[in-house]
Amino acid sequence: MPARMPHPARDIADYLGTGDLALSKTESLCLVADIGGTNARFGLVSDSRDEPREVRNLRCADYSDLVAAIEDFLGRIPGCPRPEAACVAVAGPVLGDRIRLTNAAWDFSVADSRRRLGLARLEVINDFSALALAVPQLPNEGFVRIGTGIRRYDEPMAVIGPGTGLGVAGLMRSRHGWIPIAGEGGHADLPVRTEHEAEIARLLRADHGAVCAETALSGPGLVRLYRAVCAVDGVAPTYGRPEKICAAAREHRDPLASRTMGVFFGLLGTFAGGVALTFGARGGVLLGGGILPGIADLLAASDFRRRFVESSALPGYLEDVATEIIVAATPALRGAAYRLAQR
């Protein structure tokens, strides 16, 4: 893996025995955040350090807006000085000053939030743009390879990930650094390939109207898939949470849970292949989000890689494209830190 791109000088001061965050007179403190549909993760960095410290995970539903969550986060850190700048990654499109999260109730103005927090600078980016920016910064042990393939840092890459929703972004390298390409690919059509998947999609449409990839390839989508698989077999569902379905499949306690995970991974493989073709992501497809890191073993043993490669009618186009799961902790915070340093 190539060395990280140069970073400005000055490392963050170490914590003293008092537990307070000590900074030199020339250092400033910045805040980084990753706001999903369910959880909001926060951390602190200096001007130059891309590995966040004092990371906290808060529930979005417990706060009225971004400012309330940030103030509570800062209040939990003894002796913490006020940050001068912040980069906040959000699960939703960033099209102007008004930010409305796709799968959470937060609706806020960037300019007003910056003023209320007393920040000199507040940058808001898409959460999967931040995740994409983290990829070149992470060590090799931050990834788990799925199948064969070669990561190429001089070619475009793509990042996808099922969580509360389904995120998609691209990543390209330029002489000025890494450039993320935000998208809403999770709202593209569900990539059905088999008769069984077509029957499941028909049931999903009957219950939910229009069906996109996120309808099935997300945490809530996994529950929808499981219920549809049960309905096809005429069996009442047993589980109502995605983690229960994953656990039942891993422990071979429920054939329908295992079958659901097979459908989930197959659809995800075809979807990932389509994203790779759309971005020309010969550099690799990286898998993130809140679900996959905890079930890397199930994904590796599934039909995911075959479905990924077979997504292309161009012989050999995807066969040597890497597919890897991002298992590093809080990677989007690392990407937000890189964005602050880049700007």
Name the band, by pLDDT with cuts 50, 70 and 90, for residue 24: very low
Residue 5: the pLDDT is 37
Helix (H, G, I), strand (E, B) or coil at 293: helix
Name the band, by pLDDT with cuts 50, 70 and 90, for residue 277: very high
Between 102 and 140, the more confident residue is 140
Q: Which of 224, 320, 326 is nearest to 276 (CA)?
A: 320
Q: In this model, does residue 12 exceed pLDDT 50?
A: no
Q: In this model, does residue 89 exceed pLDDT 90?
A: yes
Q: In this model, does residue 249 exceed pLDDT 60?
A: yes
Q: Which of 163, 174, 177, 194 is nearest to 294 (CA)?
A: 163
Gap between the Cα atoms of 168 and 249, Å rounded: 26
Q: In this model, does residue 192 exceed pLDDT 60?
A: yes
Gap between the Cα atoms of 186 and 198, Å rounded: 19
Q: What is the pTM of this model?
A: 0.86
Q: What is the percent of the chain with per-residue pLDDT over 70, rounded to a whole number? A: 91
Q: In this model, does residue 146 exceed pLDDT 80?
A: yes
Residue 3: the pLDDT is 37
Q: What is the percent of the chain with per-residue pLDDT over 90, rounded to a whole number? A: 77
Residue 67: the pLDDT is 96
Between 5 and 260, the more confident residue is 260
Burial (CB count <10 Å: 0-12, 13-18, 19+), residue 326 = buried
Residue 50: the pLDDT is 61
pLDDT tens, 285-329? 999 988 999 999 999 999 999 999 998 888 889 999 999 999 999
pLDDT tens, 51-61? 899 999 999 99
Are 79 and 21 spatial neighbours (Cβ–Cβ below 8 Å)?
yes
pLDDT tens, 119-142? 999 999 999 999 999 999 999 999
Helices (H), the chain: 66-75, 110-117, 127-134, 195-208, 213-216, 219-233, 242-250, 255-279, 296-300, 304-309, 331-342
Name the band, by pLDDT with cuts 50, 70 and 90, for residue 218: very high
Residue 8: the pLDDT is 29
